[in-house]
Structure 1
């Protein structure tokens, strides 16, 4: 009985672990109105783009179709590969015969649909590189009408290729259901583009009234977003440039590059970054140049690299603009908080859209409409920011007028006394602030020195050494140059402490530190790890012989007698040398390799220099105290 129970339990576990069989057929009933096709879609990659329908229907090729892991719409990012999709449609008796297959990403270059009815194949084609009039169905998205025979299975294939983001949202609609969905979507889009138009006209009128460049820059942002969104949503291809597919293909990258360019310009003007934060101002100017270069790449080189560059620049700009606004808000700059709230929403939407285009985020309702949602909320908040800016200007003007009237009513002598008193207070306050700033700078300098330098010798401590090594390794990876890490341990230092006292020992360590710095270049790094252990990092080392020569030089220099407080003392040195990247390309491993080499030098009689490549086995269990 127990054996039977064990067998039943084992079978239950195996059944739970076995993958569930997924239904590959799209079953359509009389009640079906819309069916998301992602769960039923099988994918075949065609990197060369040379396969035909006859090729993929061959048994040896048909078995290569696979389900694509993930949720949401199919998204392959900026992939140069051609993709074949396979669907099996199984309308039941009583199901409708007329259906509409919607590919809800109108910026795809080429989508071809093949439907096999026995020996007959019905072929339909659409894409943003063909005139809108050539589409089989009038719609902003790529829609293909299907005639299905209830009670029989039909095989459907899609061939998809695009130089942009290969995102393939697939939905099968009844005509009435698609029409009802379109009414809701078009209502939302009309509201969205109406808000963009209202904001653009409002800021344009403000520019003509106030003549401030920030308002004109924001008009550029709104116009650029509108162009990019009209193309991305398919409305531009349908209504504005139906016979100009070349422009429709470039409108998305150029629109977003223009949005980034004018957005960076608006940020610089509105937040006055040239005065408030020159570093961020230079970074924003650099991003502007990047957007111009990405736009030129789209026009003269190719869509795919330009689209990827635009997506990455958009994410970088989002982070930079938010950081700039945060800094200005912390400094209580006028309008910065409202700008931060408004612009952050828009940039968050842009970042989500860019990351979705790169296939770093899944395609869902939030990521699809992230830019529209963010920009709509940004419109509302930024309106308050602009109004607050106007009110601030009015308040400043009113205050200036009141001050002028008050000044005219005062007597000349009173004005002179007030000016004299004001000058004294300003001078006093200026001196106090200057002294306070000087004390603060001095304190900050002392804190930085204590945090990164050894208090006895003034050399770099362990923390600063690690930071310098990370920077040196980064430079080495870019240039391919090798550097040497020398672990130096004093021989006989414990005897000096025991014989002459720790005060003499400390002064000797200061002398040793000075000698180490004299042995290397100013650009090289010398650090004290603790006790009588030092590290020297020398960049631009050519080979092991040069590294050994440096170690030998250190040993000779450190072994010279030193006069410390009328006492003549002498120590030796053992040096372990590790070369990057020959011995290790990892920071911790490199230090460990040099430390083992130094132990080997001590075991060999001390006063020697040993390469890490010569070490065999592990170092001794622990170092002797003071040695």
Structure 2
């Protein structure tokens, strides 16, 4: 009896030990099989998340007992908005390559305070840290975003546990990229960010110099607005922390709130000066004075209140300022005040960007490129327009009002004409893309359907015979296998050129998919004509093709034909089915003939 109890206890202990050892792997989601042939992967479809109600849990606490991790389907599922709880992410990554590979784990949203990545392997647990509140020298990689290096041995599978703690919005979409793809993407982003901040710096300094030269406060108000806004965006994008104030830690988030609320305060002053509300709209002037008092209180609150509260105040203040100034500008525009329309247009763009930014932070809008950078796009356009408006004041002092209006009207008409031309060009390009195959230049399936519908309608009206030829290339796959897909694409292009060359002017040639082509011929007079066309197509396609590498290859073709008269009421689908059936019958006969020929030899 004691021996049986002892054996049962041993088995129970072994089972518990195995469960504890393999718990990280058993709980993880479906692993991402990473191959170096693909430059980037989104980890969202392979990810699970868990909101930790208890703060400051360690990885051992998470692994000690099962946690209610929830699976995600796409990046939108990882946009949690303003949530106080810390978030744990879990994903598995497997190296499908027989050689070690290096990857980069990148979080798209740069405004995350603390991001800790635990890489669980069979023998060890690697811990990497990053985030906007982490000093640069302590980050896994010195970058404005939370990025981590991931080294994978041949066919190795690891589990990634990521702990995220942030005072602001938690938009946690993250990707797996090769170093080449990561640094290429980083160069593009840095270019646009440098352009954006260079523009802000130029406009701010330019208007500050104008203030010192002309002693008009409107230029000072605008410079202070640009300075506050630029400071907030600099901190929000992680560039400020990376280059200037890494020592601030969590106060980087406070700097974002302070910059945006200060910019809202300066925006009300600028609007009053630009629209001259004290003279033309006294009531609105008083409303803006009252709102500015609230903005100063919001600035003080951003300095004193907890950071999450300060960030909420920032969102509310920025949105209210943009909306209030838009309404004020619209009222001034209705009263035909000078430059009011341009002000409304500029602030409409800014309101759109600020609204998208705030609603994305609150988790209402999905996280994507537009919502992530909406405030930057809107502010850039708004500041450019307002800068042009300020510069035009110099000319208005020297010109008559009628000449200025005429010049602006001419400029608007010219811009409208250019825009209409661009729209027309773009429409034609989109129509071509929608109906033509990108590789061969022939019609694609959508274009084929449109042409076939029109051809069948003409066929029903005139009662002539219509034919559909389905061409399927034979011996094409070995070319891809031997010489690569680029050679295969080259062969398809050459075959398409030959088919288009043999087709008549009114025939419709399409690439149906892969190595299949379709020809629709109208007004076919006799079967002899079809046989002659098939023979010429077969002869043309069989002709050798010289590849770019110098090798010569050849393919053959199986052709299936279907015909109809205008009185038969045929459709494209019925013609395709009939031609497909005939084509496979031809292919089968060719295979039997090849087998007999091979057996006889």
TM-score normalised by L of structure 1: 0.57
The 8 Å contact of residues 334 and 389 in structure 1, kept in 2 or not, is answered as: no
The 8 Å contact of residues 112 and 124 in structure 1, kept in 2 or not, is answered as: yes
Q: Does 1:193 align with 2:178?
A: no
Q: Separation in 2 of the partners of 1:116 and 1:23?
A: 14
Shift of 1:293: 2.3
In structure 2, list runs of 5 or more residues that go unmatched: 1-27, 404-601
1:505 matched residue in structure 2? none
Cα offsets for 1:444-478 (capped at 9, x unmatched): xxxxxxxxxxxxxxxxxxxxxxxxxxxxxxxxxxx
Deviates more, 1:289-298 or 1:178-187: 289-298
Deviates more, 1:275-284 or 1:154-163: 275-284
1:263 matched residue in structure 2? 267
1:220 matched residue in structure 2? 224
Shift of 1:301: 1.9
1:324 matched residue in structure 2? 328
Alpha-carbon distance change, 41 to 321 in structure 1, aligned in 2, over 3 angstroms: same
Q: Separation in 1 of the partners of 2:99 and 2:139?
A: 26
The Cα RMSD (Å) is: 2.3
The size of the alignment, in residue pairs, is: 376
1:37 matched residue in structure 2? 43
Q: Separation in 2 of the partners of 1:234 and 1:321?
A: 29
In structure 1, list runs of 5 or more residues that go unmatched: 1-21, 400-627
The 8 Å contact of residues 44 and 74 in structure 2, kept in 1 or not, is answered as: no
Candidates 62, 66, 71, aligned match of 2:70: 66
Alpha-carbon distance change, 146 to 269 in structure 1, aligned in 2, over 3 angstroms: same
The 8 Å contact of residues 335 and 388 in structure 1, kept in 2 or not, is answered as: no
The 8 Å contact of residues 110 and 126 in structure 1, kept in 2 or not, is answered as: yes
Q: Separation in 2 of the partners of 1:266 and 1:83?
A: 41
Q: Separation in 2 of the partners of 1:283 and 1:147?
A: 59
Cα offsets for 1:386-406 (capped at 9, x unmatched): 23322223336999xxxxxxx
1:285 matched residue in structure 2? 289
Alpha-carbon distance change, 185 to 216 in structure 1, aligned in 2, over 3 angstroms: same
Deviates more, 1:289-298 or 1:136-145: 289-298
Candidates 108, 111, 120, aligned match of 1:107: 111
Shift of 1:292: 2.4
Show the 5 A alignment for 1:16-35: 24-35=30-41
Deviates more, 1:365-374 or 1:341-350: 341-350
The 8 Å contact of residues 33 and 96 in structure 2, kept in 1 or not, is answered as: yes
Shift of 1:57: 2.3
Alpha-carbon distance change, 95 to 382 in structure 1, aligned in 2, over 3 angstroms: farther
Alpha-carbon distance change, 332 to 372 in structure 1, aligned in 2, over 3 angstroms: same
1:381 matched residue in structure 2? 385
The 8 Å contact of residues 73 and 170 in structure 1, kept in 2 or not, is answered as: no
Q: Separation in 2 of the partners of 1:392 and 1:337?
A: 16
Q: Does 1:209 align with 2:213?
A: yes
The 8 Å contact of residues 136 and 144 in structure 1, kept in 2 or not, is answered as: yes
Shift of 1:68: 4.3
Q: Does 1:48 align with 2:24?
A: no
Cα offsets for 1:22-75 (capped at 9, x unmatched): 9732120121221121222211110221433223224532xx110247654722
3-state SS in 2 of match to 1:360: coil
Candidates 181, 188, 210, aligned match of 2:185: 181
1:298 matched residue in structure 2? 302
Q: Does 1:132 align with 2:141?
A: no
Shift of 1:208: 1.8
Q: Does 1:159 align with 2:180?
A: no
The 8 Å contact of residues 105 and 175 in structure 2, kept in 1 or not, is answered as: yes
1:352 matched residue in structure 2? 356
Shift of 1:247: 4.5
The 8 Å contact of residues 113 and 158 in structure 1, kept in 2 or not, is answered as: yes
Alpha-carbon distance change, 347 to 398 in structure 1, aligned in 2, over 3 angstroms: closer
Higher Cα radius of gyration: 1
Shift of 1:241: 1.6
Alpha-carbon distance change, 85 to 100 in structure 1, aligned in 2, over 3 angstroms: same
Q: Separation in 1 of the partners of 2:122 and 2:291?
A: 56
Alpha-carbon distance change, 369 to 397 in structure 1, aligned in 2, over 3 angstroms: closer
Shift of 1:356: 1.3
1:98 matched residue in structure 2? 102
Shift of 1:310: 1.3
Q: Separation in 2 of the partners of 1:83 and 1:39?
A: 17
TM-score normalised by L of structure 2: 0.59
1:274 matched residue in structure 2? 278
